[in-house]
A and B are shown apart, each in its own frame.
Chain A
Amino acid sequence: MKRTGAQIIWESLQREDVEVVFGYPGGAILPAYDAMLDYPIHHVLTRHEQGATHMADGYARASGKVGVAMATSGPGATNMVTGIATAMMDSSPIVCITGQVSSGLVGLDAFQETDVTGITLPITKHNYLVTRVEDIARSIREAFYIAATGRPGPVLLDITKDAQQASYEFDWEASAPRLPGYRPALRALPAEYEKAITLINSAKRPLILAGHGVLQSGAMKVLRDFVEKAQIPVAMTLLGIGCFPATHPLNLGMMGMHGEAWVNHSIQQADLLLAFGTRFDDRVTGNVKTYAPKAKKIHIEIDPSEINKVIKADVALVGDLRDVLEELSPRIAPGDHEEWIDHINEMKGDSAVRDIQNLPDTGHLYAAHVINDLWRHTEGEALICTDVGQHQMWTAQYYKHDKPFRLITSGGLGTMGFGLPSAIGAKMACPDAEVWAIAGDGGFQMTAAELTTAAQENVKVNVAVINNGYLGMVRQWQEFFYSKRYAATPMKSPDFVKLAEAHGLAGLRVTERSQVEGAIRAARETEGTVVIDFRVAKEDSVYPMVPAGADLHEMIRRPRPRIPLAKESDAPEEWEMATK
């Protein structure tokens, strides 16, 4: 049947099981928007195209499906750039559709013409400039296929206005992908398995580094079987959180720049590292020259270009992690690493005395307490979307996830403004989930306009603003590395309670620890999105910290707490140790 290009877009999206599109209209995408009214796909009008891409990203990460964002040419498309780069760095499958000026005007600097495929070339897995109506269906099909398979990532389709307006016989069956050069399904070589098994069976101090790839390949169960059989402890990357239960005795927690000391020390002392679906980001390794010097490395990774990129692998198993582990798990010998695990637990003990959660409650409001309380009251079951900064790291440290896909955060790009829109997207993907956005006062303001999107859509997410009056993470770097010269980090904010109210939403303010529980309860019980303004300690820092480029074991440890004591003699003896 003959259809316009605009109709073909929606026909194709329907066939790709798309239920919701996040977008913002404009001239070059108008034909598509006009056709939209005749299709049952729900459109969410965001307040900025960046919001649309983050919502699509949050939707994708929460559901495992492809998220879709739509925008017009020129400024609409360039507003998407941050969200596309965010999705690229975190391998999140989204498809972005942008309108482009009519093909006859391409290259003439027409009104709202931008070379969007050029701009997004290095930040997409693949992109298309579609100038002919007959190419629309196949391009969309290919885009979804590429976005979701292999190592997932964003794909952009820039479709000219005349292609949307022209008509063509729509035939989905005949529009199957033709991608002779695309090989998402790779299989590791048998010889590499043999080498891996030998290394695993003979290791004395092995450690698993579990990354985003575990979640993306759905390898949670087989990872657990593997771990329990081999008795190998697991450290997780920020994006790996949730891939292995936080409460499992073999889970060490997060590694890297703000990983706990015992985790980073374990990496440095290990004799075998098993990197599962992770790419050795510099926030994870610290100085690569001194990284895990005693360890052989087995790298299991779907993307061959990650092998030997940062850390040289002794064994490389290229393939889907779940497939590889399913093959590997039955072939390894049951392990026993009691001595090693005891040693790690000893290191843990030292850190525990420094932990703010284990100190007497003085009533002061610390971000770590807020997040810990949130974790307790939501029973660790909430789907948490964070923004970027100190609160993000505290969330990673103190909101302990036993279940997968419950932490959504911008890891690779570290995009401020990601929290609220990704939470809205996640909530649309999982309407039954309790969704919380945890944002800093800075990042929240970057995309706070999306509150009104939540209001218009009647979407309930709770927003915990960790308000420290600073661009906290940058302030922390200034405190540590720039002699406390706080250039451009002290920040005034609007009244977040009134801001929420201006959007027709509820707002709450918390200034003392005793109010935290009540506010969390009220937010959970209130219909509609709620913003809580948590006025936390202003100059608190995230510990431990590996300074950028330092050796992984060279951490700035938690100091003796700044909490004022009633009497100096109230300090437990261990505190002395903690200050060293």
Chain B
Amino acid sequence: MSLHTFAAYVEDKPGVLNRVASLFRRRAFNIESLTVGHTEQPGVSRMTIAVEADDLTARRVEAMLYKLVNVLRVDDLTARSTVERDLALIKVAVTPTNRTEVMQLADVFRARIVDVTNESVIVETTGTEDKIEGLIEVLRPFGIIEMARTGIVSMSRGAAGISPNPPLVAAEVREGAPA
């Protein structure tokens, strides 16, 4: 078992997120994180899905995703060199005496302070999950009042985008088949 990250391009239609989420629930696949957002193409959304799975299960996840009629393409980014980012907003309890300490720690992690009151600060950070986990660990002793994270988005490095006709599991799309 290891973490697999998939990028799935889906038609931007009502209910598509539900179809994807339902698939994972129904097949008892373990979602670690799922994010959705717009892409460069109108009408197409991109999901980044992180799943705990062994390699054979990961292939099946990919095939199952393809079976959903509204899923346009799926890429397993796990083995590729990728840029991966998660964004977190962390509201930390502070006192006038330790506030500077919190701000300095945030600075070390290249996080930003986006809101300050006498009792709290909100720290904003983007980065890999590891980096964010590290920041959370050092902030925890001060008291975390609230936290929100986006879940990871991921993109492969280099100039290439994702090909228009992705290879399927042990098969290819037959020529002349209706799109």
Contact = CB atoms under 8 A, between A and B. Distances in A.
Interface string B28-66: 000000000000000000000000000010011001101
Contacts of A319: 171, 174
Q: Give the interface residue-count category, chain B.
A: 20 to 34
Interface in A70-84: none
A467 to B, nearest CB: 38
Contacts of B179: 179-180
> Interface size for chain A: under 10, 10 to 19, 20 to 34, or 35 or more residues?
20 to 34
Interface string B135-179: 000000000000000000000000000000000111111100111
B18 A186 contact: no
Contacts of B73: 181
A158 to B, nearest CB: 11
B70 interface: yes
B177 A122 contact: no
A102 to B, nearest CB: 17
A183 B177 contact: yes
Given A121-B22, A126-B69, A318 B169 contact: yes
Interface in A170-199: 177, 179-189, 192
Given A117-B15, A181-B71, A181-B72, A307 B169 contact: yes
A118 B14 CA distance: 12
B170 A318 contact: yes
Interface string A421-456: 000000000000000000000000000000000000
A116 to B, nearest CB: 12
B15 to A, nearest CB: 7
A129 B172 CA distance: 31
Interface stretch (A228-236, A308-316, A352-360, A514-522): A308-316
B19 A121 contact: yes
Given A121-B19, A184-B177, A146 B171 contact: no
A307 B63 contact: yes
Given A177-B178, A303-B67, A309-B60, A122 B22 contact: yes
A183 B170 CA distance: 14
Nearest to A316: B170
A247 B178 CA distance: 40
Contact of A183 (B15, B19, B66): B66
Contacts of B64: 305
A401 B18 CA distance: 43
A188 B173 contact: no
A188 B171 contact: yes
B95 to A, nearest CB: 47
A179 B69 contact: yes
Interface in B67-115: 67-73
A192 B171 CA distance: 9
Interface of A: 117-118, 121-122, 125-126, 129, 146, 177, 179-189, 192, 303-305, 307-309, 312, 316-319
Closest 6 CB pairs of A and B: A318-B171, A185-B177, A305-B63, A186-B171, A304-B169, A304-B63
